[in-house]
Chains A and B, each alone.
Chain A
Amino acid sequence: MTSQVIIQAIISGILMGLIYALIAAGLSLIFGLMEIVNFAHGDHLMLSMFSTFWFWMLFGIDPIFSIPLTIILMAFLGVFTHYFIIRKILNSTMLIQICATFGLAVTIRALAQFFFTPDFRTIKNPIIQGKFEVYGVFIGYPQLFASFVCLFAFILLYLFVTKTETGTALQATSQDRQAAEILGIPSNKMFALGWAIGLSCVAVAGSMLSNYYYVFPDVGVNFSLFAFVAVALGGFGSINGSLIAGVIIGIVESVGGLLIDPSYKLLYVFAVYLLVVILRPQGIFGRY
């Protein structure tokens, strides 16, 4: 095995990892804000991919142009999800909360099977395609572009949360809901905003993935598993943590697949997860 092959695996891993990072950031933000795990996160990713696919299929809009449209759709879906489902279970027991978002996941997937059929779809001839070679390492343009866009979105998210007033209010709500409320910060609006942002993250990731990935109703499953591992690894509620954790998982998946056997990719990622649970249950940057 040459060093080129390993470098190739690491680079592919990092590129994929940046996408995992953005997906995980959305999940982590929602969890940090209201301590609810969005088990439908992968299915929201799937919806974003289908949204991108249909914009292309029905209106001929290329994925790089439909990103804003998909973001708007998903943000609205996030707000809608909060007001019609999450708000009602905020004070319920954890079991009920799990059932609610898990049920949402099953429903979304079933509806997707029904309306979109289980077929595997691809976007043919997108604007960004092909690959290039440097020193024997191949990098696909869609992959590279996707990770740049996800990294960019991630940075925007980070700046929003840490540097703006609304972002600080969002953090305050996540740290102490009552204390925030008495200062005049309406937590219900903050939660809706959190859902809008969380689903906007998967909207960006989904749009970019559909440039080169199959689009089908079950596509979100593995992504959401990886996102959960990334959130646990990075620390529940930590946005920075999801960046590092996403990239680590991307590399573990890709290098593990290369060194041992690609069909056990999931196993390596879960081995990492188990290690985290045993050695540092609160994750790299976690407070929980």
Chain B
Amino acid sequence: MLLNIKNIDVAYDDYQVIWNVSLNVKEGEIVALLGPNGSGKSTILNSISGLIKIKSGEINFNKIQINKYETYQRVGVGISHVLERRRVFPYLTVLQNLLLGAYHEKAKTEREKSLQNIYNFFPKLKDRSNQIANTMSGGEQQMLAIGRGLMGMPKLLMVDEPFLGLAPLVIEDLKLIFKKIAERGISILFVEQNVRLALSMAHRGYVLESGRLVIDGVSNDLINSKELKRVFLGS
């Protein structure tokens, strides 16, 4: 088990938003985290990368308990987080953004190799390597954000709403790329609102409702589940 989350509670100050959530991700697995707006999907990713500290429970990664680690230490154990709404460094170039992805020691030694890999996945980033990030299109920035995450040589790549605002053709490309990434043994945990899209790519999925897990299972089972329809259509 690569990522193993046990019974976590998360609160913003006194306002609890995650209740007793347990979740796990195996090596090479693609897992979708589903749920309506405000159900707590981003909050869960943020607690895994440490941007928010959990109130109780445990987060284990590669058999190490990491919930006490500072955010900046977590990339070193193998977790890359591609934040919601891309969050590339707007005034740095594409190349500078990518190189910062390999800031931590382990990734730094393999920097050139990782860069070539990422250029293979996203040739556009190579052509635009000297462009200032905030002058790139939304879709290009998404590629950059994912590329920057991969530069950290993660064992787990977490992506928050990777497909938001992308054209259908680009979505298909990106899905293929995610599959290739997973074939290399990198696990992917991603958040998505579009259930059909998410489950067409994921091996498994978890469904959140108001901060609680309501169902989980392999994609083929989930897609036909009544419970899933109730959560998303309210019927």
Contact = CB atoms under 8 A, between A and B. Distances in A.
Contacts of A183: 72, 75, 100-101, 103-104, 148, 152
B100 A168 contact: yes
Interface in A172-191: 172, 175-176, 178-187
Given A179-B83, A183-B103, A185-B100, A172 B89 contact: yes
Contacts of A181: 50-51, 71-72
Nearest to B148: A183
A185 B103 contact: yes
Contacts of B176: none
Interface string A272-288: 00000000000000010
A197 B5 CA distance: 41
Contacts of A169: 100, 103
B99 interface: yes
A287 B101 CA distance: 24
B51 A171 contact: no
A217 to B, nearest CB: 39
Contacts of A171: 89, 91-92
B70 interface: yes
Contact of B75 (A176, A178, A182): A182
Contacts of B139: none
Nearest to B104: A184
A175 B89 contact: yes
Contacts of A186: 70, 72
Contact of B74 (A168, A176, A182): A182
B159 to A, nearest CB: 12
Given A169-B100, A178-B51, A184 B152 contact: yes
Interface string B66-99: 0000111111100011010001111110001001
Contacts of A180: 89, 100
A182 B103 contact: no
Contacts of B91: 171, 175, 287
Interface of B: 49-51, 70-76, 80-81, 83, 87-92, 96, 99-101, 103-104, 107, 148, 152
Interface of A: 165, 168-169, 171-172, 175-176, 178-187, 287
Given A168-B92, A175-B91, A183-B75, 5 more contacts: A178-B83, A178-B87, A182-B51, A182-B81, A187-B72
Closest 10 CB pairs of A and B: A184-B104, A184-B75, A179-B87, A186-B72, A181-B71, A175-B89, A182-B81, A184-B103, A172-B89, A184-B72
